[in-house]
Amino acid sequence: MLRPRAAMILAAGRGERMRPLTDTTPKPLLRVRGASLIEHHVRALAHAGIRRITINLCWLGDQIRAHLGDGGRYGVSIRYSEEAPAALEAAGGIVRALAGLQPGPFVVVNGDVYCDYPFERLALEADCDAHLVLVPNPPQHPRGDFGLEQGRALAVAPRQFTFSGIGVYSPGLFANLADGARPLRPLLVGAMAAGRCSAELYEGVWADVGTPERLAALNAG
């Protein structure tokens, strides 16, 4: 098992469903239970011993940079990957930031989820290119994304779970890909077809903070 030493937080998106809140505040800076979403991730990664963090920026990215700085007060080193004028989607953002994430496997987490997942558990098997954290399907996503069988992720299965937005990836998954907008799912499905994508089901606290209503519910809970 290979332990990641670096992480990337995906924070470049516009957050259309969170408008009007995200008209003036980037989604990862919205506050949940006393801190911004992205601060929860930075602190959790630091607690797990992951000190090198890359954050991609596009929409109102200067606010994120100003808020987190170089990461020193969290005990980490933060670098930023610029994507203006348009966000590059998940895989495109990773490709652009790849040089700063290597060598070895690295964690990627969506900046707009709230969770208590223990990042210190994350590792990548030597014969895998990806490891995904799946969660039970929330009401807004009842069909799920991927299946899980004997520790391997499946593109299609009788029972599907939701991808949490938390994963560990090998740099090889993104090797030789050109810079530009690119979704992550096709790369994951390819790894699954080759039997090189492991997964786990996490049943702890997790929420996709996708709408103002979900944000309010989290803060009221």
> What pLDDT, on the 0 to 100 scale, is given for residue 218?
83
What confidence score (pLDDT) does residue 200 get? 98
pLDDT cut 90: percent of the chain above it: 81
Measured CA to CA, the distance from residue 177 to residue 183 in angstroms comes to 12
In DSSP terms, 9 is beta-bridged to: 55, 109
| Res. 211 pLDDT band, cuts 50 70 90 | confident
Least Cα distance to 87 among 106, 112, 118, 116 occurs for 112
Amino acid at 58: C
pLDDT score of 7 more than 80:
yes
Q: Is residue 1 part of a domain?
A: no
Quote the pLDDT of residue 215: 83
Nearest CA to 26 out of 35, 17, 15 is that of 15
Instruction: Give the separation between CA 103 and CA 117, rounded to whole angstroms.
Output: 24
**What domain range includes position 72?**
6-220
User: Does some domain include residue 76?
Assistant: yes
Residue 15 maps to a domain: yes
Q: Nearest-5° angle of CA 125, CA 131, CA 137?
A: 145
pLDDT attached to residue 84: 81
- Which two three-digit tokens encode residue 56? 């991609």
pLDDT at 83: 93
Which pTM value belongs to this model?
A: 0.94
What is the distance between the alpha carbons of residues 174 and 17, in angstroms, rounded to a whole number?
A: 29
Q: What is the mean pLDDT of the chain?
A: 94
Give the pLDDT band of residue 117 (cuts 50, 70, 90): very high
The tally of CA atoms less than 13 A away on the side-chain side of residue 129 is 16
Residue 213 in domain: yes
Whether 186 has a pLDDT exceeding 90, the answer reads yes
What pLDDT digit, counting tens, does each position of 14-54 carry?
Answer: 877 778 877 889 999 999 988 999 999 999 999 999 999 99
pLDDT above 90: residue 217 = no
Q: How many domains does the chain have?
A: 1
Give me the CATH number covering residue 84.
3.90.550.10
C-alpha to C-alpha distances, 146 to 59, 174, 191, nearest whole angstrom: 29, 20, 12
Q: At what angle do helices 61-68 and 37-47 cross, to 10 degrees?
A: 50
Number of other residues whose CB lies within 10 A of the CB of residue 133: 24
Q: What is the pLDDT of residue 132?
A: 98
Q: What is the pLDDT of residues 153-171, one digit of tens each?
A: 999 999 999 999 999 999 9
Helices (H), strands (E): how many in the chain?
A: 5, 13
The closest alpha carbon to 109, from 186, 5, 26, 10, belongs to 10
